[in-house]
Structure 1
Amino acid sequence: CLLPGYHQAHHKKVCTMVSGTMKIRLLVLLLSFNGSQGEGNKKFCETLGKKHNLCLFEVDKLGAACSKHGPGAKILQPTDADKDLIVQIHNDYRRRVAKGEQKTPELPKAGNMKAMTWDSELSTIAQVWANQCFFAHDEYFSRRTKQEKYIGQNMFRVINPINYTSVLSKMLDRWYDEVRGVSLKQIRQYKPTTTGPSIGHFTQVVWAETNKIGCGVVVYPETLQKYTVMTQTV
């Protein structure tokens, strides 16, 4: 999922998923503006660079690496209900922190916590990278927008899920559960670190200035039960 805001290295979250009718329309619009042909795309790539994922890859096609996971990998179409669920769970967790209701460990109230909303542009950028079937972070300049230079990115992969909705809930619960490794010192002055407990997913979920999110999802159908979910935030 992609979310607007600063966290770790100023990056946004991205969730790998494509929406229904409204999303398809958006993809067509972005392809006409950011696709491989046309003056609109030329100006976009001149502004954001030819190494941006929207300049390197097609929005509605899977990358060659997906074939390594077996035949029939596909983009999972999210519904409006899926998007609402992702936004709702993020905001529920953010509200918990903002109100000072996080007790183990106990965290201070947040004075400037913004509400999260769905962002279709971030969702498209997230989906493009998810479509490549690389379970790895891309470069910050490959996912930025004209408005935001640094976009946060979270990824999640699960095998044999009960259903898609359970994947989304499980993903967000696991990210927030990293709160167990958070110290008050880190809250007061956050610095990314490669030592100690992993808390990067949690900080992305509750970063106060973050207010937008978009996600993309890819299914590897050799089992028809493996999901890779990518989230980006601003």
Structure 2
Amino acid sequence: LGKVISDSNFDAEFQQTHNAYRKQHGAPPLTINKNLCRSAQEWAEHLLSIRTLMHSNGEYGENVYYAWSSANNKLTVESWYSEIKDYNFSRPGFTSKTGHFTQVVWKDTNEVGVGLATDGNTTFVVGQYLPAGNISNAGYFERNVLPAGSKADFKPTPSGEFGMTVCAWM
């Protein structure tokens, strides 16, 4: 079976890359949730064992990623964010072509966990989010997926940044 990668640099950069994109869209920074990390790690390991990219359909928001080699944390989030090119801010809503992007910037989401599993040739990365994004109730996309350049309406910590925590996968 594959091996688990415990790399605090990976999850810290995963969080930082999310937060850089979220800031552009007026969304508050995400904090690391260790329970989400455990769940995401379990799912990443399962995906590696079955060699199939699919969602867990659990209680969390979720993005999944697959690479033929090692995964780059920044490129993983960038690949999800790149779906912005297909998102229509004039007609907000969910599509299968933009769901990863909308979860990354979903304003009401405030916690993330990341899991990564690889066998050296194949890598699966799972991001899980609370509260989940991509809620299709009336007005939710308009309130949660803001165009780049939107003004933030949350209060940062006194230092101006949210603290970094790592998953420390076990």
Please give the TM-score of this superposition, normalised by the length of structure 2.
Answer: 0.68
The reply on whether 1:171 has 2:89 as its aligned counterpart is no
Find the counterpart in structure 2 of residue 200 from structure 1.
Answer: 99
Q: After superposition, give the CA deviation of every residue in 1:80-126 in whole Å (9 maximum; x if it has no partner).
A: x222211111110011122xxxxxxxxxxxxxx22211110000011
Q: After superposition, give the CA deviation of every residue in 1:27-67 in whole Å (9 maximum; x if it has no partner).
A: xxxxxxxxxxxxxxxxxxxxxxxxxxxxxxxxxxxxxxxxx
In the alignment, the residues of structure 2 paired with residue 123 and residue 152 of structure 1 have an alpha-carbon distance, to the nearest angstrom, of 13
**Contiguous gaps of at least 5 residues in structure 2:** 131-170
SS at match of 2:103: helix
The answer to whether the Cα contact below 8 Å between 2:2 and 2:45 also exists between their aligned partners in 1 is: no
Structure of greater Rg? 1
Find the counterpart in structure 1 of residue 5 from structure 2.
Answer: 76
Q: After superposition, give the CA deviation of every residue in 1:178-221 in whole Å (9 maximum; x if it has no partner).
A: 1001112343xx2x335xxx10110000000111000111112x
Q: After superposition, give the CA deviation of every residue in 1:148-194 in whole Å (9 maximum; x if it has no partner).
A: xxx11111011134xx5xx111111111111001112343xx2x335
Flag as ranges the 4+ runs of structure 1 deviating above 4 A: none
**Contiguous gaps of at least 5 residues in structure 1:** 1-71, 99-112, 145-150
In the alignment, the residues of structure 2 paired with residue 137 and residue 120 of structure 1 have an alpha-carbon distance, to the nearest angstrom, of 19
The reply on whether 1:94 has 2:94 as its aligned counterpart is no
SS at match of 1:170: helix
1:58-207 aligned within 5 A: 72-79=1-8, 81-98=9-26, 113-133=27-47, 134=50, 135-140=53-58, 144=59, 151-161=60-70, 164=71, 167-187=72-92, 190=93, 192-194=94-96, 198-207=97-106
Q: CA RMSD in A?
A: 1.6
SS at match of 1:172: helix
Structure 1 residues 193 and 179: CA distance shift in structure 2, 3 A:
closer
Find the counterpart in structure 2 of residue 28 from structure 1.
Answer: none
Q: How many residues align?
A: 126
SS at match of 2:24: helix
SS at match of 1:114: coil
In the alignment, the residues of structure 2 paired with residue 157 and residue 82 of structure 1 have an alpha-carbon distance, to the nearest angstrom, of 15
The answer to whether the Cα contact below 8 Å between 2:18 and 2:30 also exists between their aligned partners in 1 is: yes
In the alignment, the residues of structure 2 paired with residue 185 and residue 87 of structure 1 have an alpha-carbon distance, to the nearest angstrom, of 28
1:78 Cα offset (Å): 2.3
Structure 1 residues 186 and 207: CA distance shift in structure 2, 3 A:
farther
In the alignment, the residues of structure 2 paired with residue 193 and residue 215 of structure 1 have an alpha-carbon distance, to the nearest angstrom, of 23
In the alignment, the residues of structure 2 paired with residue 193 and residue 89 of structure 1 have an alpha-carbon distance, to the nearest angstrom, of 23
| Residue 121 of structure 2, aligned match among 215, 225, 234 | 225
1:230 Cα offset (Å): 0.8
